[in-house]
Homo-oligomer: A and B are copies of this chain.
Amino acid sequence: MAPEPRRSWLLPAAALVPILAFAAAALAQPEAGKPASPIYGVTVPDGYRAWPLIAPALEGAPLNELRAVLGNDVAVKAYARGTLPFPDGTILVKLAWQHVPSPDFEPATVPGRATTVQVMVKDAQRYPATGGWGFGRFIDGQPVDEAQHETCFACHEARVKDRDFVFTRYAR
């Protein structure tokens, strides 16, 4: 086979430009096509249900929910090391269920119907106005309305600004 002329490398390199641009867009919106939250464009991450537990919680009246916050690998490592602020790529997912009495053991309360799935994504460049966090609140896989999403950051900012706006502590 004859050696290729040098110029032949220029065309593939040029061809890479739209590919790289697409890849960059895909990184910014890693799960395009899925239902995304208003304001933030946050989606429910694939595979989150198998992520490690950060902590369970109980939410009293009027919601009366059992909850569990799960975190991706970036989140878990940040908790383990006490890294604040959380690094870009951190994702926290809070699952919530109505709580119901256990049918099997009287003193216990267990998850009933799933209510909401709530997501926090850290991306300091993308979310500079909200502490670097994007928020998503989903019911049955669909994001709730913009008005509800407008309340997320204000509450986190008012209460847990000193922990990079994250309520949940790792349960040891």
**Measured CA separation A99–B109 after assembly (Å):** 13
Q: Is A32 an interface residue (CB 8 A)?
A: no
Distance in Å: Cβ of A67 to nearest Cβ of chain B: 7
B76, B102, B167: the one within 8 Å of A50 (CB) = B76
Interface flags, A160-172, vs B, CB<8A=1, else 0: 1000000111011
Interface flags, A41-79, vs B, CB<8A=1, else 0: 000000001111101111111010011101000001000
Contact residues in B for A34 (Cβ distance below 8 Å): none
Contact residues in B for A167 (Cβ distance below 8 Å): 102, 104-105, 108
Interface residues of A (CB under 8 A from B): 49-53, 55-61, 63, 66-68, 70, 76, 95, 97, 99, 102, 104-105, 107-111, 114, 159-160, 167-169, 171-172
